[in-house]
């Protein structure tokens, strides 16, 4: 039996997506919980370049960066494929995954952490424009992967709970069911899946996590306008 370990934290969206992938493939693994404020020698040894989670250890060999890990998992355990077979469809899934991680999450975070005012309103509008783009991608489909959960669903999987938590802490409402019916429905379907539900952190934990992060971010803005 292959030995699989995951160095991660239970509230990091980048780590949970790896747990989802492993569970969807029925891969047994050991989760090694990391304290990011006091990084372990293990993490520093296995990800000396970025010193970040998640890090997957397979047969003792480390793999870092969540998209890289997801593709590795998909190539190593071929049951329940996450990425489409067709190269063009694969490139599209990867493109939207990059878009979600590089634009959407930061757009939402920006709208959340900014204090009330014109800038916050602009950020809210931008974030909703980004969500509108994702809405177009999910329209007419049950999941981004089609009939079953796939790579892009796992990458966009921050929406059901992490986005909610950011909305609560930032006192904003972005994922409006009326404006984004398909994304909203996808979100409900996704989180209802037993494998997904099993790993998702409770709302309060994420609210605490973002409260801490956003307060700190706001304090930096005050110190250095």
Partner 1 sequence: MAGEVVLLNFWPSTFGLRVRIALAEKGIKYEYKEEDLSNKSPLLLEMNPIIKQIPVLIHNGKPVCESLLIVQYIDEVWNDKSPLLPSDPCQRAQARFWADFVDKKVYVASRKVWRPKREEQEEGKKEFLETLKTMEGELGDKPYFGGETFGYVDVSFIPFYSWFHAYKVLDNINIEAECPKIDAWAKRCLQKETVAKNFPDKKKVYEFVAQTRKKYVSA
Residues at the interface with partner 1 (CB under 8 A): 49, 58, 61, 63-65, 67-69, 71-72, 75-76, 87-88, 90-91, 94-95, 98-99, 133
Query: With respect to partner 1, which residue has the nearer C-beta, 136 or 177?
Result: 136
Q: How far apart are CA 80 and CA 5, in angstroms?
A: 20
Q: How far apart are CA 39 and CA 13, in angstroms?
A: 18
DSSP β-bridge partners for residue 55: 7, 64
Q: How far apart are CA 32 and CA 59, in angstroms?
A: 15
Give the residue from 216, 214, 223 showing the smallest Cα distance to 113. Answer: 214
**Residue 22 Cβ, how far from partner 1 at the closest point, in Å?**
15
Phi/psi at 43 (5° precision):
-65, -45
- The token duo for 14 is 């980048």
Q: How far apart are CA 46 and CA 218, in angstroms?
A: 33
Query: With respect to partner 1, which residue has the nearer C-beta, 72 or 168?
Result: 72
Give the residue from 84, 201, 85, 52 showing the smallest Cα distance to 152. Answer: 84
**Residue 69 Cβ, how far from partner 1 at the closest point, in Å?**
7
Give the three-state DSSP class for 39: coil
**Residue 23 Cβ, how far from partner 1 at the closest point, in Å?**
19
Query: With respect to partner 1, which residue has the nearer C-beta, 66 or 164?
Result: 66
Query: With respect to partner 1, which residue has the nearer C-beta, 58 or 120?
Result: 58
**Residue 220 Cβ, how far from partner 1 at the closest point, in Å?**
18
**Residue 98 Cβ, how far from partner 1 at the closest point, in Å?**
6
Query: With respect to partner 1, which residue has the nearer C-beta, 89 or 168?
Result: 89
User: Are residues 8 and 31 in contact, defined by beta-carbon separation less than 8 angstroms?
Assistant: yes
**Residue 99 Cβ, how far from partner 1 at the closest point, in Å?**
7
Query: With respect to partner 1, which residue has the nearer C-beta, 16 or 57?
Result: 57
């Amino acid at each position: 039996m292959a030995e699989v370990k995951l160095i991660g934290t239970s509230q990091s969206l980048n780590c949970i997506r790896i747990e989802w992938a492993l569970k969807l493939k029925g891969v047994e693994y050991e989760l090694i919980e990391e304290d990011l404020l006091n990084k372990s020698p293990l993490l520093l040894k296995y990800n000396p370049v970025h010193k970040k989670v998640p890090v997957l250890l397979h047969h003792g060999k480390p793999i870092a960066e969540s998209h890289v890990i997801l593709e590795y998992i998909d190539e190593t355990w071929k049951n329940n494929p996450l990425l489409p077979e067709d190269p063009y469809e694969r490139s599209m899934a990867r493109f939207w995954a990059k878009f979600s991680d590089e634009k959407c999450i930061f757009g939402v975070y920006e709208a959340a952490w900014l204090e009330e005012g014109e800038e916050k309103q602009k950020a809210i509008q931008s974030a909703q424009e980004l969500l509108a783009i994702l809405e177009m991608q999910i329209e007419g489909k049950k999941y981004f992967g089609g009939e079953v959960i796939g790579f892009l669903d796992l990458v966009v999987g921050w929406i059901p709970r992490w986005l909610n938590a950011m909305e609560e802490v930032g006192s904003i409402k972005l994922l409006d069911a009326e404006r984004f019916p398909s994304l909203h429905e996808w979100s409900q379907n996704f989180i209802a899946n037993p494998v997904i539900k099993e790993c998702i952190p409770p709302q309060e934990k994420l609210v605490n996590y973002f409260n801490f992060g956003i307060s700190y971010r706001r304090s930096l803005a005050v110190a250095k306008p």
